[in-house]
Amino acid sequence: ASAQPQQADKANVNREPYPLGNPVVTHMYTADAAPHVMPDGKVWMVTSVDSEAGGGYSTMAAYHAFSSSDMRHWTDNGAVLTVDQVRPADTSGRRYALWAPDIIYRNGRYYLYYPVWSGFPGSSPEERKVESWIGVAVADSPAGPFRVAVPRLEGTRGIDPAVFVDDDGTAYLFWGSRMAARLSDDMLSLADEPRKIDVGTDRFMEASWLHKRDGRYYFSHHSTYDHFRKIDAANALDPERRQSELWWSVGDSPLGPFRHGGVLNYEPGAGVAGGPRSSDGDYPPWRLTLSNHGGIVEFHGQDYLFYHTSALSSWRQDRFQGAGTWTQRSVAIDRIDYDTDGAPLPVVQTVE
C-alpha cells in the first residue's frame, strides 16, 4: 500500500481565499452540483434546483446544466431533466422529487444518473415510507435534452449517485449509504453485485464522491445529520454543535477500503475555522444549509470543491443578516489545496 496522507492541522485553513464569485448562480436556487470537464474543454455542472416558492426537498422538480470556461462566469443551459419525465404512473398522492445527480461523458454521449425521491411530506408512519432509486437519462449534449433510458437501475435503492471512470476505462457507480458497483460498458446497468464499501467511518449520511489524484483515490461524503435531530434552530449556530461536515478518506483502489482522513469542508456558513470570509472581513454566518454536499473537479491542474450554502436565500432576505433557508441553497466553489503528503486541507469558504 502507498503511504497514506494524514489529516491536516486545522490551523492550515488560514490561507489566502480564492474567490470565484460565490454563490456562482444568483438567478435561481441551485444545489448538489456535479462538476466535470467535458470534451469541449469547459466545466459543466448539473445541479439540483430548490424551489423558489419553498416547500422543501420534496418539491425539487428539475436539474439545470451550467457551463463555464473560467470557473467564474456560468451559462445557464436550462432545465435538462424534469420530474415529469421520471414520475411513474401513481394515483396514491405520493410526491416525486429529483435529488442530487451526477453526469458523465462516455462513448460519445452524456449519461445523467439521477435519484428519484418518493414519499409524503409528513411524519406519520405511512408518510415516512420514503422510497428512492437511481435512474439513467442519456443525451448527445450536456445541455440536453435528456431522455430517460433506464427508469430504475436494477440493484439500486437510495440517493446521491456519483460516477467515476478510472484511467483503465472501468466505470463505477456510488450511491446511497456507502453502496458501490461497477457499471456495464454501455453505462446502463450494474456490472456486478452492489457492495457496501469501507470508507473508514460509520458516520455517513449521503453525498458520495470519488476523485483521483496522484494515483490515490479520495472518497468524500457528508458525515451526519444526527445532531440536528437533537437541536433547535437557536443553538444551531453554536460552533460546537455544528457537525454537518464533508469528510474525506483515501485508498488505493476505487472500491476501497478507504482510510478516514478528516474534514474537507466544514459546515457551510459556519463561523468557525474554514467558515466564509471575504475581502472586507468576516460576515455574520448565514443559517445552515443542513446538507454538505460536495462535487470535485480538476480544472487546469487545480482541484475545486463545489458545495452549497444558504447565502442566496440569506441575501434575498437581508444581505448577510437574514437567516437564509436551508432548502433554498446556492452553489459555491472554492479551491482544494493539499499538503505535501497529499492530504486535502479543509476548504476555505469564500463569498463574493
Residues that bind ligand FUB (CB under 6 A): 31-32, 48, 57, 99-100, 159-160, 206-207, 291, 293
The distance of closest approach from Cβ of residue 99 to ligand FUB in the complex, given in angstroms and rounded to an integer, is 3
Containing 311, the helix (H) or strand (E) segment is helix 311-318
Nearer Cβ to ligand FUB (203/277):
203
Q: What is the spatial distance between Cα 15 and Cα 227, in angstroms, rounded to a whole number?
A: 29
Spell out the long-range contacts of 178-184 with Cβ–Cβ below 8 A and sequence spacing 24 or more.
Answer: 178/204, 178/208, 178/221, 180/208, 180/254, 180/255, 181/155
Instruction: State whether the Cα torsion 161-243-59-284 is positive or negative.
Output: negative
- 3-14 b/e with 16+ CB inside 10 Å = b? ebbebbeeeebe
The distance of closest approach from Cβ of residue 316 to ligand FUB in the complex, given in angstroms and rounded to an integer, is 19
Nearer Cβ to ligand FUB (48/328):
48
The distance of closest approach from Cβ of residue 277 to ligand FUB in the complex, given in angstroms and rounded to an integer, is 23
Nearer Cβ to ligand FUB (5/115):
115
Nearer Cβ to ligand FUB (265/291):
291
> Which of 35, 119, 117, 111 has the alpha carbon at shortest distance from 80?
111
User: What does the block give as the cell for 79?
Assistant: 432545465
The distance of closest approach from Cβ of residue 177 to ligand FUB in the complex, given in angstroms and rounded to an integer, is 12
The distance of closest approach from Cβ of residue 77 to ligand FUB in the complex, given in angstroms and rounded to an integer, is 20
Nearer Cβ to ligand FUB (48/220):
48
The DSSP secondary-structure symbol of 85 reads H
Nearer Cβ to ligand FUB (57/299):
57
The distance of closest approach from Cβ of residue 293 to ligand FUB in the complex, given in angstroms and rounded to an integer, is 4
